[in-house]
Amino acid sequence: MRSITRWLWLVVGALVVLSLADVAHAQKKTLVVALFQDPDLLDPTLARTYVGRIVFSQICEKLYEIDENLRIHPQLALDMPAITDGGRVVTIKLRPGVKFNDGTPMDAESVKFSLDRHRTLKGSNRASELAPVEAVEVVDPRTVRLRLKAPFSPLLAQLTDRAGMPVSPTAVNKLGDKFGTAPVCVGPWQFVERVAQDRIVVEKSAHYFDPGQAKFDKIVFRIIPDDNVRLANLRSGDIDVMHMVSPTDATGIKREGRFELSNVTGLGYDGITINLRNKTGKLNPPGDLGTPLANDPRVREALELSIDREALNQVAWDGLYTPGCTPIPPISVFFDKSRKCPGRDVARAKKLLADAGLAGGYGFELTVVNNPRSRRVGEVIQQMAREAGFNITLRSQEFASALTDADDGKLQAFQIGWSGRVDPDGNIHQIQTCKGSLNATLACDEKIDALLNRAREVSDEGQRRGLYREAIDLFTARRNIIYLYHQNYIVAFPKNLKGYKSVPDGLIRIKGTSWN
Amino acid sequence: MFDFLVQRAAISVVTLFVISMIVFTGVRMIPGDPARVMAGSEADEAGLEEVRQKYGLGDPIAFQYLRWLGLAVRFDLGESIRTRESVVKIVASKLPITIELAFLSLLVAVGIAIPAGVLAAVRRNTVWDVLTSGASLGGVSIPNFWLGIMLILFFSVRLGWLPASGFVPLWESPLANLQRMLMPAFVLGTALAAVLMRQTRNSMIEVMSADYIRTAYSKGLAGRVVVFRHAIRNSLIPVVTILGLQMGALMSGAVVTEQIFVVPGFGRLIVEAVFTRDYPLVQGVVLITASSYVLINLLVDVSYSLLDPRIRVRGAASDA
Amino acid sequence: MPSTAATADALEPTRALAPAGGLRRAWRQARRRPASAIGAVVVVLFVALALGAPWITSTDPLQTDWKQIRKAPTLAHPFGTDDLGRDNFARVIWGSRISMQAGVFSILLAIAVGVPTGLVAGFYRGGLDQAIMRLTDAWLAFPFLILAIGLVTIMGPSLTNATVAIGLGATPTFIRLTRGLVLAKASEDYVLGARALGAGDLRLMSRHILPNIVSSLLVQATISIPIAVIAEAVLSFLGLGVQPPAPSWGTMLNTAQQFLDTAPWMAWWPGLAIFALTLSFNLAGDGLRDLLDPRDY
């Protein structure tokens, strides 16, 4: 019996030692950021994930950048571009003395190389973003010129994201399509290593042209998909910056008072995408789906009228997101301030269903992404619509396969959002035009196409605003997408982290931040 | 004994083949066009065709299987679709983590179960017996993920004694590593301990009533000597069997425990891979997991012969 | 030291053949092992709960109430409310249906597939046996959960598919067990005798061997069912099982995770329910094992 008691004390002792000892965590000089998802390829040309853009924010700067008010200013470019020939020629002067993080110089040749790679590499996900660009020329070692097929006002906005990120030709030539495993661009920090689904480590670059802005020697991105665990890590100090704070946690964190919260309305939208004519795949000809939901606009209107956007925001998001009914974010200059979102009207919804011959009720399947938050939104919608006579069956599916199914025309309705782009064209064109590459509903209206195409060509703000207003009127009446809200980006960090700026794209920018 | 081992090894190889076939076809039954996943949502028909050509997705399935197998035996399991990293490299980086977690869980389990089981057997029908039986039943019945969440809530958030999650490699800082592995190992270990405890107790009881034990007592040997020198060794065989079976489960990296404690091991890897339709990764990881299971069972058989000389001579009745 | 009780038990088996004696023996066993008796009672309770859900609680488990979100337990809502204002008590009660369904039916499937296969393998031996055993080995080598996840991903998430997936995952255990038992029984005298009297294979398998292995199968079932219940909870936890808004304990735990700090009652009750159900199955199973096979203390 005595040996057992001794044993027990040993175990207790070990536990005490373990819990007291702390790692000599180089905490002050290393910043730990928690992401909710593992990025895919860290190759600006091939990357597709939102979280990837957060990593890029530290290691891959771009020609132009946006600020908190969604205004565009030059970053790696020297100043705003010169636009000539009716908008068909865009000349960009580059900032001098800039080096890639492998020491090679960033000049017009390398920028041309990068832009061409984004445009033409097989499998490039930037190709459609730069589609209007016909050719890129080197004017002199510090100037590039883009020739466009037609005027394209969103071009500048495209260059504030991955399409505008120069990559080191030396590194590309060395690694080929494995560039994403060790990317080299221009940035205050440079890529060091990555452990799949665990962490991405970047460290201060010796080649950046403004080293004073990088106050941390190292940044470690930890991948923690679970909200709870992420929060627990924030509270215990194991991570410094928490990305994607859920609204319910945000309320709790604010009450605690230990952390600072940044809450900004994002650039994207969330809503219900309804399949109208996609029968066998979005690349195939459209077909008749034969359902009231797809064929009868009154049914879709009834669905929209059964939903109370304000209540949805309150119940699902603790009121911290932003209800909306268009794809343009409130912060954008193109946002239509005069538009009022329809309120809930169950009586009218019931009448519309009756008019459509569905007085006894109508059921359809709504696919939601397989995570607790999306499911909750789905359940709220399900409940609200039930009162108007809809019997919605929820089907939760993982993101990747749901997207594929949507493209294949297998879904009736899909509760999904779009992360959002700086220019409204990025939120609308490819999704609502007849031949748009992201148009999975195969809804098609020549009038909308004409309006949206014109909106990309003209550059006058007022004119564009008007065109978008008209187009939005049309496709919100068609309701192939019922826009419900704009997701807010909530980030939590310690109170002594100074200099954090909340940009509406929701990306975490460490440059310029430091400890108090 | 040698014949016996050769026979077991041969059977293991056949099993591995069957596993590889099941994995290969199984993965292809998951809905969704793999070419589409690999080419990306922006690809058109031409792009899809290219991908099909490149990966030979249009060939007859037997052909694809043989090609994959041919590469697999040369330790080339392809690339992850998502990150283009070599599957072998990803597995190699996760394997030590899962092995460490499995090993620590095993330590916890054995450390709790064997002393408790022996105690319960030796002090049958006393309060010790009831306590251990109760604890064992509780351990088997409690949902893993619930226990994990409760532990985090209590020890990390409320008390701040242990870090909530994550992983620090052992060579970087053994202390930090152990701090973070303690709770997940505990969760997994207690579940395993619960099972082991019953088995230890039962086989100890059976052994203790055997003739040779009574002889040892009547020879005048002290109780402790009887228990430790004779009883335990012989009662370990069924325990070892179960350990072998459970190690297989541990090696698959208790999926949910890893999720909750953010341990970047196999469990998380495979769930993510299935969710993102990363076929090469799914194939590779499942193959390796299943193979390690087969290997462990082979080792268990070997250890049989070491523990029980009768088996050495007769050959294990493990097929029965 | 073998107790006299055990010796007395060793004399009992012959009495078990008479049903009345069996019942009386069961009562005696129940008194001697109160834990198992309690376990059995709780299992029956849960079954009653599952079957009688509509009469036990009149509250609709799906009824949301925006004004009652995440409220602590009160008289009106004894287990509190969840993130959409639904009554947790009703959800836990109705959730027992899903857990019982998944737990029991999946194992029934495993038995329906596994036992005949094991019978055939053990009875005929030879090449067929080897083939079946290799397949079973490979099947077993797949981590149970991974197999279930894979199957549900192929078939699509739903309670039925999750049940089938779990059942298929549990099948190899029953194949192995049945085969082992058949191997042992097939060489016993009463079987050989029956064969000598001219009984055919099917008759031998169904009339002579099967009844004698039923008890062991039953014991295995009581071990497997709790595992299946937890497996369903895990699948629902991962979003692969029952679809919202159906009240599966696993889904409830998944949702509750987000609110551990602000609404811990959302996690306690479903977790406790799973725990109680599995614990009672295990206890009852223990008792059953003692009842049917007294040698195994």
Question: What average pLDDT does this structure show over C18-29?
Answer: 62
Contact of A372 with chain C, judged by CB distance below 8 Å, is answered with yes
Of B15, B255, B275, which has the smallest distance from its Cβ to C138's Cβ?
B15
Helix or strand or coil: residue A220? strand
Q: Do C142 and B274 touch (CB under 8 A)?
A: no
Nearest CA in chain B to A284: B45
What per-residue confidence (pLDDT) applies to C5?
Answer: 39
Q: A484-514 pLDDT, tens per residue?
A: 999 999 999 999 899 999 999 999 999 999 9
A55-70 confidence digits (pLDDT tens): 999 999 999 999 999 9
3-state secondary structure (DSSP) of residue A329: coil
Q: Closest partner residue to C243 among A246, A371, A394, by Cβ? A: A394
Band of pLDDT at residue B115, cut at 50, 70 and 90: confident
One-character DSSP codes across A115-178: HHHHHHSTT-SSTTTTTTEEEEEEEETTEEEEEESS--TTHHHHTTTGGG--B-HHHHHHHGGG
**Per-residue tokens: A227:** 């909200």
Interchain CB contact of A263 with C (< 8 Å): no
For residues A145-174, average pLDDT: 94
Q: Which residue has the higher pLDDT, B94 or A287?
A: A287
Chain C contact set for A377 (CB, 8 A): none
Which of A246, A315, A379 lies nearest to residue C244, judging by beta carbons? Answer: A379
Report the C-alpha gap between A102 and A91 in whole angstroms: 27
CA distance B305 to chain A (A): 31
Across the interface, do A197 and B260 touch by the CB < 8 Å criterion?
no
Query: Hey, are the CB atoms on C153 and B30 less than 8 Å from each other?
Result: yes
Amino acid at A171: A
Name which of B85, B8, B137 is nearest B273 in CA terms.
B85
- Ranges A46-50, A195-199, C80-84, C167-171: which has the least confidence: A195-199
pLDDT score, position B203: 76
Question: How confident is the model at residue A494, as a pLDDT?
Answer: 92
Average pLDDT over residues A407-420: 91
Query: Residue B34 pLDDT > 70, yes or no?
Result: no
Band of residue A479 on the pLDDT scale cut at 50, 70, 90: very high
Question: Is A167:A185 a contact under the CB 8 Å cutoff?
Answer: yes
| Closest chain A residue by Cα to residue B85 | A181
Q: Do B271 and C149 touch (CB under 8 A)?
A: yes
Q: Quick one: pLDDT at residue A324? A: 94
Interface membership of A311 toward C (CB under 8 Å)? yes
Question: pLDDT higher for C132 or C211?
Answer: C132
State whether B93 and A177 contact (CB < 8 Å): no
**CB spacing of B146 vs C271 below 8 angstroms:** yes
- Give residue A111's pLDDT: 95
Q: What is the pLDDT of residue A347?
A: 94
Distance from CA of A184 to the nearest CA of B (A): 16
pLDDT at B43: 56
Segment of B131-140, B271-280, C123-132 carrying the highest mean pLDDT: C123-132
Q: Among B124, B138, B270, whose Cβ lies nearest the Cβ of C146? A: B270
Interface check B2 vs A, CB under 8 A: no
Q: How many beta-carbon pairs under 8 angstroms link B with C?
A: 120
Mutation pick from C38, C142, C289 vs chain B, by most beta carbons of B within 10 Å, is: C142
Instruction: Give me the mean pLDDT over the B99-106 stretch.
Output: 85
- B170 Cα to chain C: minimum distance (Å): 26
A176 confidence band (pLDDT: 50, 70, 90): confident
Choose the closest CB to C245 out of A226, A382, A401.
A382
Q: How far is A265 from chain B (nearest CA, A)?
A: 27
The two structure tokens encoding residue B57? 């997705």
Kindly indicate the confidence band of residue A41, based on its pLDDT and cuts at 50, 70 and 90.
confident
Mean pLDDT of A228-251: 86
Residue A439 has pLDDT above 70, yes or no: yes
- In this prediction, residues A73-92 reach a mean pLDDT of 93
Cβ burial, residue C54 (10 Å; 0-12/13-18/19+)? exposed
**What's the pLDDT at A379?**
92
CA distance B269 to B291: 17
CB contact under 8 A, A178 and B84: yes
Distance from CA of C62 to the nearest CA of A (A): 9
Say yes or no: A319 contacts chain C, CB-CB below 8 A: no
User: SS in 3 state form for C114-158?
Assistant: HHHHHHHHHHHCHHHHHHHHHHHHHHHHCCHHHHHHHHHHHHCCC
pLDDT score of A27 more than 70: no
Using a cut of 0.90, tell me whether the model's pTM lies above it.
no
β-pairing, A30-35 vs A241-242, is parallel
pLDDT of A9 over the 70 cut: no
How is chain B classified by DSSP, letter by letter? -HHHHHHHHHHHHHHHHHHHHHHHHHHHHSSS-HHHHHH-TT--HHHHHHHHHHHTTTS-HHHHHHHHHHHHHTT---B-TTT--BHHHHHHHHHHHHHHHHHHHHHHHHHHHHHHHHHHHHTTTSHHHHHHHHHHHHHHHS-HHHHHHHHIIIIIIIS--S--S----TTT-HHHHHHHHHHHHHHHHHHHHHHHHHHHHHHHHHHHTSHHHHHHHHTT--HHHIIIIIIHHHHHHHHHHHHHHHHHHHHT--HHHHHHHT--SHHHHHHHHHHTT-HHHHHHHHHHHHHHHHHHHHHHHHHHHHH-HHHHHH---TT-
Task: Work out how many CB contacts closer than 8 A connect A with C.
Answer: 63
Out of A314, A372, A394, whose CB is closest to C258? A372
Question: Hey, is the C-beta of C245 within 8 angstroms of any chain A C-beta?
Answer: yes
Q: At what angle do helices C88-124 and C249-256 cross, to 10 degrees?
A: 130
Residue C9 in this model has a pLDDT that exceeds 50: no
Q: Give the A:B interface size as CB pairs under 8 Å.
A: 129
**Interface ipTM:** 0.71
- For chain A, say whether C160 makes contact (Cβ under 8 Å): no
Say if residue C6's pLDDT is above 60. Answer: no
Residue C8: pLDDT over 60: no
Which of B145, B257, B279, B286 best tests the C interface by mutation, with the highest count of C CBs <10 A? B145
- Those of residues 261-320 in B touching chain A at CB distance below 8 A are 261-262, 264, 268-269, 272, 275-277
Pairing of strands A497-498, A82-84: unpaired
Give the model's pLDDT for residue C75. Answer: 83
Chain A interface disruption, residue of C63, C84, C158, most A CBs within 10 A? C84
Window from A248-252, A400-404, B103-107 with minimum mean pLDDT? A400-404
Q: What is the mean pLDDT of residues C226-235?
A: 86
pLDDT at B191 over 60: yes
- How far apart are the C-alpha atoms of A355 and C247, rounded to whole Å? 35
Query: Which residues does chain C have within 8 Å of residue B146's beta carbon, measured at their own beta carbons?
Result: 253, 267, 271, 274-275
Rounded mean pLDDT, A250-256? 87
User: Identity (one letter) of the amino acid at A510?
Assistant: I
Average pLDDT, chain B: 75
pLDDT at A43 over 80: yes
> Is A84 part of the contact surface with chain C (CB cutoff 8 Å)?
no
Residue A179 confidence (pLDDT): 92
Please tell me the least confidently modeled range out of A45-59, C81-95, C126-140. Answer: C126-140
For chain C, say whether A459 makes contact (Cβ under 8 Å). no
Contact A252 C66 (CB under 8 A): no
pLDDT of B132 strictly over 90: no
Residue of C224 and B252 predicted with greater confidence? C224
What average pLDDT does range B112-136 have in this prediction? 80
User: Residue A492 has what pLDDT?
Assistant: 95
Question: pLDDT, tens digit, for every residue of B141-190?
Answer: 787 777 887 787 777 766 777 766 666 677 777 887 888 888 888 888 88
Kindly tell me if the per-residue pLDDT of B45 is higher than 70: no
What pLDDT score does A507 carry?
Answer: 93
What's the whole-number average pLDDT of chain A?
A: 89
Q: Is the bond into C245 cis (omega within 30 degrees of 0)?
A: yes
Neighbours of chain A (3+ CB pairs under 8 A): B, C
Taking only the tens place, the pLDDT of each residue in B284-319 is: 888 887 787 778 777 777 776 666 666 555 444 444
pLDDT computed for residue C65 by the predictor = 82
Check CB contact under 8 Å for C138 and B137: no
pLDDT at residue C133, as a whole number: 85
Instruction: State the pLDDT confidence band at C286, using cuts at 50, 70 and 90.
Output: confident
CB contact under 8 A, A372 and C243: no
Whether the CB of B92 is below 8 Å from some CB of chain A: the reply is no
Burial zone of B81 (CB within 10 Å; 0-12 exposed, 13-18 middle, 19+ buried): buried
Task: Mention every residue, 6+ apart, whose C-beta is less than 8 A from residue B118.
Answer: B200, B201, B204, B227, B232
A379 touches chain C (CB under 8 A): yes
The rounded radius of gyration (Å) of the Cα atoms in chain B is 24
Q: Enumerate the residues of chain B whose CB falls inside 8 A of the CB of residue C294.
A: none
Contact C245 A379 (CB under 8 A): yes
